[in-house]
């Protein structure tokens, strides 16, 4: 599948006019991309003004929540260029002039790549001269890349704990003790608190979906291979999937459309046919659709009563949106998926599967540095102890690892066996879905809400690895707050590989029916900066304070209430 074809399929999601969500508090940064662009067209604000306001938020609340790794010096000049394009009628599309972020492990021209690791930041302090492929595609779409968000060291864990910038805090938590999840912690916090409209993260075993649930935003793990990973510090090449976080499914789709599509620089991006269904973001997308509740992924007997209630409410919202929701036992579930892979390998007489086989990660690390330095092997040697402290399946020393560096990741026997088993198990899963006439699976993203950052997670099984092993597209959508004011649960809608457009359409319809996104309390998240330039916001005209949240079907109605003063 070509990049053009992938973009065409995803573009169908965002090509139709959509009702725009409310601007919470009257600030364009708290609304949707569609409402923001509508305001730009009407002259209510410019990309330059809103980018300056976004940077103000980053410098105040971003650092307060320890969500920011670094800010880009060129953001304001990029925003001014977007304003010039708009005035000239040369907009590059729905992302043109939109402030976004990328995770700390992404290369970004003009900034060092810290990997959110203190030692790596010390070893590689110089700004890099290239953009990761995804960042380059965002810029080509006109997006204003504000900089990088903090993460777990090398995206290795799910707690938002960085040795470089500290523990990322959860903006919903007044005690400052509960985790925002990770590893894409800063990206989730940045969009939850309106520092940006969307952000890029990565997901090997839940790194987008965990912080999406714990901070109450939308997180997506696209189909494995849909998004190339070149220019990003590598993790596990046979599991790693990059995707967006945003406050709405529509904004998630817009960001994904900008970065999706194979690139020859990543040998594991998929170029074959995709099993896609034409889809658009419609409030009616769930009507008559059969969804399968994977009961093995809903451990009700171990979930807190509040989590069970949130889950039951989410299922009720799906039914209210017109879906037929029934129990479904797929051919493979979270408890059987690894055994199914192993059995498929044995049946082929193949080597054992290993998605975390050392050679692909070693080769990916060499390939990463080959794109940013003249002596990639020396750079790997310099950074190896810091990196290997986390990716400890690698040999203990660089000398022991060096023979692995040149083994192409796509030719690793254990990785190839894993990929073959994935195809076999996916075929069985697809057959079971067809037999049950199930269009997509649903289950809780995680069956518990955010614990304290210093505590171990509850011993409740999750289905996070399930989608990574199978390469499935999964969209995690907020299902509301609990009595403690924290995000209680997210609903995951999961399809077969290549069905990203369909899954996004179903997730959008659920979101529009349920309306469960709630931003962090304004008093906790930031102190509004004074009104700037020509942006005249309702709270400023009222003499300070915060405008109550508004829930409107059409953001244009709120725009009509906002004056523009030169």
- Name the pLDDT band for 2 (thresholds 50, 70, 90): low
- The radius of gyration computed from the CA coordinates of the chain, to the nearest angstrom, equals 22
Say whether pLDDT at 135 is over 50: yes
How high is the pLDDT of residue 446? 97
Q: Is 514 a catalytic residue?
A: no
How high is the pLDDT of residue 273? 52
Say whether pLDDT at 564 is over 90: no
Strand partners, 493: 442, 475
Residue 5 CB-density burial (10 A; 0-12 exposed, 13-18 middle, 19+ buried): middle
Q: Is 91 a catalytic residue?
A: no
Which of these, 324, 314, 327, lies nearest to 510 by C-alpha position? 314
183, 187, 417, 492: the catalytic one is: 183
How high is the pLDDT of residue 279? 52
Mapped onto helix, strand or coil, the DSSP state of residue 308 is helix
The pLDDT tens digits for 326-362 are 999 999 999 999 999 999 999 999 999 999 999 999 9
CA distance 71 to 110: 10
User: Under a CB-based contact definition with an 8 Å cutoff, are residues 149 and 186 in contact?
Assistant: yes
How high is the pLDDT of residue 271? 74
CA distance 369 to 233: 9
Which of these, 227, 196, 200, 222, lies nearest to 211 by C-alpha position? 200
> Which helix (H) or strand (E) is 123 found in, with range?
helix 118-123
The pLDDT tens digits for 454-473 are 999 999 999 999 999 999 99
How high is the pLDDT of residue 554? 32
162, 163, 207, 248: the catalytic one is: 207
The pLDDT tens digits for 3-14 are 555 556 656 555
CA distance 203 to 181: 12
Percent of the chain with pLDDT over 70: 86
Which of these, 307, 200, 303, 292, lies nearest to 252 by C-alpha position? 200
103, 163, 184, 248: the catalytic one is: 103
User: Under a CB-based contact definition with an 8 Å cutoff, are residues 162 and 117 in contact?
Assistant: yes
Say whether pLDDT at 557 is over 90: no
Strand partners, 478: 490
Predicted model pTM: 0.89
How high is the pLDDT of residue 63? 86
Say which range, 214-223, 304-313, 525-534, 535-544, has the weakest mean pLDDT: 535-544
Assign residue 275 a region (left: φ > 0; alpha: ψ between -120 and 50; beta: otherwise). Answer: beta
User: Is beta strand 166-167 parallel, antiparallel or unpaired with respect to 198-203?
Assistant: unpaired
Q: Is 439 a catalytic residue?
A: no
Question: Please, what is the Cα angle at 30 between 24 and 35, to 5 degrees?
Answer: 90
The pLDDT tens digits for 257-295 are 999 999 999 999 987 655 434 457 999 999 999 999 999
The single residue listed with the structure tokens 């400052």 is: 176
Structure-block tokens of residue 225: 């291979």
The pLDDT tens digits for 35-71 are 999 999 999 999 999 999 999 999 999 989 999 999 9
User: Is beta strand 290-294 parallel, antiparallel or unpaired with respect to 440-444?
Assistant: parallel
> Which helix (H) or strand (E) is 418 found in, with range?
helix 413-436
- Write down the domain spans for the chain: 3-329+439-525, 358-411
CA distance 281 to 404: 45
Q: Please, what is the end-to-end C-alpha distance for the chain in angstroms?
A: 48
Mean pLDDT, rounded, of the chain: 89
How high is the pLDDT of residue 10? 58
In CATH, what class is 3-329+439-525? alpha beta
How high is the pLDDT of residue 447? 97
Strand partners, 53: none
Q: What is the arithmetic mean of pLDDT over 366-390?
A: 97
Question: Please, what is the Cα angle at 158 between 10 and 242, to 5 degrees?
Answer: 20
How high is the pLDDT of residue 434? 98
- Name the pLDDT band for 175 (thresholds 50, 70, 90): very high
Say whether pLDDT at 212 is over 80: yes
């Amino acid at each position: 599948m070509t990049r053009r074809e992938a973009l065409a399929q995803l573009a169908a999601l965002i090509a139709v006019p959509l009702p725009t969500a409310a601007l919470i508090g009257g600030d364009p940064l708290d609304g949707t991309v569609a409402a923001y662009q509508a305001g730009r067209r009407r002259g209510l604000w410019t990309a330059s003004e809103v980018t300056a306001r976004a940077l103000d938020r980053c410098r105040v609340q971003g650092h307060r929540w320890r969500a920011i790794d670094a800010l880009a010096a060129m953001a304001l000049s990029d925003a001014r260029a977007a304003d010039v394009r708009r005035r000239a009628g040369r907009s590059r599309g729905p992302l043109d002039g939109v402030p976004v972020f990328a995770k700390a492990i992404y290369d970004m021209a003009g900034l060092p790549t810290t990997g959110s690791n203190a030692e790596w930041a010390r070893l590689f302090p110089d700004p890099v001269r290239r953009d990761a492929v995804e960042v380059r595609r965002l810029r080509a779409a006109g997006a204003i890349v504000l900089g990088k968000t903090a993460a777990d060291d090398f995206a290795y864990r799910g707690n938002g704990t960085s040795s470089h910038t500290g523990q990322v805090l959860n903006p919903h938590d007044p005690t400052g003790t509960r985790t925002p999840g990770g590893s894409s912690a800063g990206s989730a916090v940045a969009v939850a608190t309106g520092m940006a409209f969307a952000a890029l993260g990565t997901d090997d075993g839940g790194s987008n979906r965990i912080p999406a649930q714990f901070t109450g935003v939308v997180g997506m793990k696209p189909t494995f291979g849909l998004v190339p990973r070149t220019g990003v510090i590598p993790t596990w090449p046979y599991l790693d999937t990059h995707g967006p976080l945003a406050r709405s499914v529509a904004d998630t789709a817009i960001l994904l459309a900008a970065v999706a599509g194979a690139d020859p620089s990543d040998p594991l991006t998929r170029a074959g046919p995709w099993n896609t269904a034409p889809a658009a973001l419609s409030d009616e997308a769930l009507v008559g659709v059969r969804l399968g509740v994977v009961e093995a992924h809903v451990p009700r007997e171990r979930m807190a009563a509040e989590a069970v209630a949130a889950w039951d409410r989410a299922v009720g919202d799906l039914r209210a949106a017109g879906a037929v929701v029934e129990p479904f036992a797929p051919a493979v579930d979270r408890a059987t998926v690894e055994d199914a892979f192993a059995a498929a390998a044995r049946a082929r007489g193949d080597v054992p599967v290993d998605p975390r086989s050392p050679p692909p990660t070693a080769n990916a690390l060499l390939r990463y540095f080959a794109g940013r330095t003249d002596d990639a092997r020396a750079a790997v040697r310099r950074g190896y102890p810091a990196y290997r402290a986390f990716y400890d399946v690698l040999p203990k020393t660089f000398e022991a690892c060096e023979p692995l560096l040149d083994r192409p990741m796509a030719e690793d026997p254990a990785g190839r066996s894993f990929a073959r088993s994935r195809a076999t198990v996916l075929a069985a899963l697809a057959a079971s879905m067809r037999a049950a006439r199930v269009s997509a699976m649903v289950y809780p993203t995680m069956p518990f809400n955010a614990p304290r950052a210093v505590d171990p997670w509850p011993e409740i099984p999750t289905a996070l690895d399930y989608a990574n092993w199978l390469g499935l597209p999964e969209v995690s959508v907020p299902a509301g707050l609990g009595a403690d004011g924290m995000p209680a649960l997210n609903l995951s809608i999961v399809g077969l590989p290549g069905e990203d457009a369909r899954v996004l359409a179903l997730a959008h319809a659920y979101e529009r029916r349920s309306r469960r996104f709630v931003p962090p309390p304004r008093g906790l998240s930031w102190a509004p900066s004074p009104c700037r330039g020509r942006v005249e916001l309702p709270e400023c005209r009222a003499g300070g304070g915060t405008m109550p949240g508004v829930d409107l079907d059409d953001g244009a109605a709120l725009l009509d209430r906002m004056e523009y003063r030169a």
